[in-house]
Amino acid sequence: MKYLELVTTRNMVSAATGAGAIFLVAKTIIEGIKSPPHNPEPLPLAKLALAHQSKPVVDSGELRRLLLSLNPKLDAYSKNMMLHGITRCVYLLESEASACTYEDIKLVASFLDDSDMGVKIQTMHALKAFAGIWKFRIRIQEFMPKILEIITELWDTDIHVAGLRLLNGLPWPNDMQPLLKKLLPTLMDILQMGTNLAQVQILKFLSTLAQKEELLFDIMNCQVHPEFLSLFQPSQLGSLLFELLVLVERLCEGRLTPHYQSGLWQYNELSLHEVLFGDNSRLADCLLSLIIHPEEEVQIQACRVILKLQLNEEGEIAGTQSTNLSKFFCEINADSPNAEPMY
């Protein structure tokens, strides 16, 4: 029997499943051998934790004192220290933070307009801390246009990272879409020319936006550099590759929606769409090289993207017609008498 006759979807899946099961069983046995013997006696640390929880929490008033002391007339160093202290208190003193008001949020957010870069960054950190409290999340939304403006106007890594981390933790109101469409080209520049930390955050941001039907075309029509696919090099940071693959998966999913398929979309030659999904795209080669990446989450995500690209809907293979990827799978199947479609 020829080797390629054995290469079928069923055989590959069966082999992978069997190998995975053996690995998990072996891992479980090894972990069981290494684990300490069971001790039914409660640990002293657990007792201490329970005793600590039973004590009433005393309001220290530290957060309120910092908010009362925060003043635009302070020097930059003092404002930085005050805002840093507020951030720390919000994270550590949950009851005091929950007792804050909308006026407190507005006071902190007012320092987004400060001329000092460090103060802007500390303000974003403080707002991100407050955004962890549910009742403030909607309130902080009103400052999102200002935060986007700062991110797109100031080319600074710390600004980009702090601002995007804040935005990634907030729900998006629908009335932001016109502003987002306007700023997408600048956000795409951050993806292509920013540092790794900024790139990871902008990818998370774009992945969220890609799930909105009204923004999908604008994202994919953004102009990108000819060497955009160099971001997929296996030597890149694992977290960057993972988020990049998540973005591609979101775009693939968007292209399969009835809203997208019902339209006739025209893309520019150097658009993100053409680089990723065009007839001359080299995305297939990039994905195949990432299947053997050292980090497992990158491998898995690369496989997810390949499956989305191969997804067949109403007889058409979405996004892979005439690409190297579809040819790769078709050649394997064509050589087998028991060829099966690979979805």
Q: Number of helices (H) and strands (E) in the chain: give both, helices first.
A: 20, 2
Describe the chain by its helix, strand, coil percentages, rounded to 5. Answer: 70, 0, 30
Burial 31-62 (b: 16+ CB within 10 A, else e): eeeeeeeeeeeeeeeeeeeeeeeeeeeeeeee
CA distance 293 to 12: 19
**Which residue is associated with the tokens 């935060």?**
147
For tokens 């290469």, what's the residue?
Answer: 7
Would you state the structure tokens that stand for residue 226, as one six-digit string?
């000819």
Cβ-based burial of 237 (10 A; exposed 0-12, middle 13-18, buried ≥19): middle
Q: What is the pLDDT along the chain (343 residues), one digit of tens a residue?
A: 444 454 454 454 444 444 444 554 455 456 556 555 545 444 454 444 444 444 445 578 899 999 999 999 999 999 999 999 999 999 999 999 999 999 999 999 999 999 999 999 999 999 999 999 999 999 999 999 999 999 999 999 999 999 999 999 998 888 899 999 999 999 999 999 989 999 999 999 999 999 999 999 999 999 999 899 999 999 999 999 999 999 999 999 999 888 888 888 899 889 999 999 988 899 999 999 999 999 999 999 999 999 988 873 343 444 434 445 555 554 444 444 444 444 3
Asked whether the beta carbons of 318 and 326 are under 8 A apart, the reply is no
And the tokens for 81?
A: 């220290």
Alpha-carbon span 106 to 277, nearest angstrom: 44
8 A C-beta contact, residue 86 and residue 63: yes
* Contact partners, residue 319, CB within 8 Å, separation at least 6: 252, 255, 277, 308, 309
pLDDT at 13: 41
Alpha carbon distance 130, 107 (integer Å): 12
Query: In this structure, is the dihedral angle defined by the CA atoms of residues 230, 231, 233 and 235, taken in order, positive or negative?
Result: positive
Tally of CB atoms within 10 A around 186: 14
CA distance 293 to 291: 6
Report the pLDDT value the prediction gives residue 325, as an integer from 0 to 100.
53
Which pLDDT score, from 0 to 100, does residue 294 have? 93
Q: Which residues pair with 223 in a beta bridge?
A: 271
pTM here is 0.75
Domain ranges, ordered by start, for the chain: 61-139, 199-326
